[in-house]
Amino acid sequence: MESLLLRPSFFQPSSFQPSGGRSWRNDTLNKAGSSRSSTSTARAKVEGCSLLRFQRGRSRHRVKAIKERSFSQPRSHTKSLYVNATSGSQPLESEPGAYGGSKGVLDSVKNAVDAFYRFSRPHTVVGTALSIVSVSLLSVEKLADISPLFFTGMLEAVAAALMMNIYIVGLNQLTDIEIDKVNKPYLPLASGEFSVGTGVLIVTSFSIMSFWLGWVIKSWPLFWALSISFVLGTAYSINLPLLRWKRFAFVAALCILAVRAVIVQICFYLHMQMHVFGRSAIFSRPLIFATAFMSFFSVVIALFKDIPDMEGDKIFGIRSFTVQLGQKRVFWTCIALLEIAYGIAMFIGAASPYMWSKGITVIGHAMLALLLWNRAKSVDLTSKTAIASCYMFVC
């Protein structure tokens, strides 16, 4: 009973086979076992060979895939893979910024220069420089006056005046940031390229350098020109009680007239006449003519510059002539004033005793009057861009 419980009956052949057949059964079992073992061995060999072939084929496939990837990838990437495999570190490929670092610095410098160029209002810089050059030539009495001394004195005046010009236009932008966001959003303070602190630093530095240069040169006409320009430019823009004269159209026009027509013409002429050449102060006929012509021109500039800015001026309470009278009326008033100025210049030129002066003055101003009239007729007064372009043409 115990043996039955411990092992199944078919594992006990002696319990139901006679003793005489035991050897035959053993032989049979031995043959069957050997047959099974040989069959198992053969099957194991076949399976082993199949597995070996599979592994070899799989290895060849991997090697082939790696070769294909290595040929299809860039050389730099293959090199980085090799470094990873040998050192276990991160790829040694160059970051994009490694080669782009110098380019990024160059772009930053270009952007800063461009922003300063717009901040300086280049059309005013060019206008100031040309005015000083032209009035300096009025002091030339003979060919020998055009000497290194002449060019040195003229360049000193131009440098000091341009520094003061940057102070004036920069201060105007600092006090007009919100207005310029409407009228001139491309300016660096309005666009956010320059911070208020940067603007203050620029205008302060240039005003100091302008006065320093005027003091070093020791030319009193030049120093007075810088001082009066500083006072009028500050009063024109700064938002303090009784100041910010640009809010009042007539006073604003007088400020521009005083600087462009009187101070630039007379003070810089006296700088050349008295400081450079050491002569007495004489107001020649050419100087009187230039001052009268620039008076017309300065009034035109004072009126014309506000035509493209009517939208922002109206929002922020700047009572310019354009806001009060309208763009079209002010525009054609400016054109008429300039044509009158050219006509007067032609008349005075025709009365000159010198034929060469007569020809240059009459023909030159006639051509300018014709160009202005043709340009004015083509301006679209509903386009802010077209009006601004015409203003630059006039300047």
Whether pLDDT at 295 is above 60: yes
What average pLDDT does this structure show over 270-288?
Answer: 91
What average pLDDT does this structure show over 364-372?
Answer: 94
Q: How does DSSP assign 277-292, residue by residue? A: S-------HHHHHHHH
15 or 160, which is more confident?
Answer: 160
Torsional class of 248: left (φ above 0), alpha (ψ -120 to 50), beta (otherwise): beta
What pLDDT, on a 0 to 100 scale, did the predictor assign at position 100? 59
**Tens of pLDDT along 155-185?**
999 999 999 999 999 999 999 999 999 999 9
Q: Is 319 helix (H, G, I), strand (E, B) or coil?
A: strand
Given pLDDT bands bounded at 50, 70 and 90, which one contains residue 285?
confident
Average pLDDT, the chain: 80
Using CA atoms, how far apart are residues 362 and 96, in angstroms rounded to an integer?
63
Least confident of 94-103, 238-247, 311-320, 341-350: 94-103
What pLDDT, on a 0 to 100 scale, did the predictor assign at position 32? 44
What pLDDT, on a 0 to 100 scale, did the predictor assign at position 213? 96
What pLDDT, on a 0 to 100 scale, did the predictor assign at position 312? 85
What pLDDT, on a 0 to 100 scale, did the predictor assign at position 66? 44
Helix ranges (H only) for 176-284 are 177-183, 188-191, 196-217, 220-237, 249-257, 268-270
> What amino acid occupies position 161?
A
Least confident of 170-174, 257-261, 325-329, 353-357: 353-357
Q: How would you label 381-394 residue by residue, b for 16+ Cβ within 10 Å and e otherwise?
A: eeebeebbebbeeb
Using CA atoms, how far apart are residues 88 and 84, in angstroms rounded to an integer?
5
Q: How would you label 252-287 residue by residue, b for 16+ Cβ within 10 Å and e otherwise?
A: bbbbbbbbbbbbbbbbbbbbbbbbbbeeeeeeeeeb
Q: For residue 60, what are its two tokens? A: 């060849």
Q: For residue 353, what are its two tokens? A: 């005793």
Are the C-beta atoms of 132 and 264 separated by less than 8 Å? yes
Using CA atoms, how far apart are residues 46 and 58, in angstroms rounded to an integer?
18
Whether pLDDT at 55 is above 80: no
Q: For residue 37, what are its two tokens? A: 């073992």
**Tens of pLDDT along 69-81?**
444 444 444 444 3
Q: What is the pTM of this model?
A: 0.70
Residue indicated by tokens 């309208």: 326
Measured in whole angstroms, how far is the alpha carbon of residue 318 from the centre of its chain?
Answer: 29
What average pLDDT does this structure show over 289-311?
Answer: 89
335 φ, ψ (degrees, to nearest 5): -60, -45
Torsional class of 219: left (φ above 0), alpha (ψ -120 to 50), beta (otherwise): beta
Give the residue among 128, 216, 194 at the shortest CA–CA distance from 166: 128
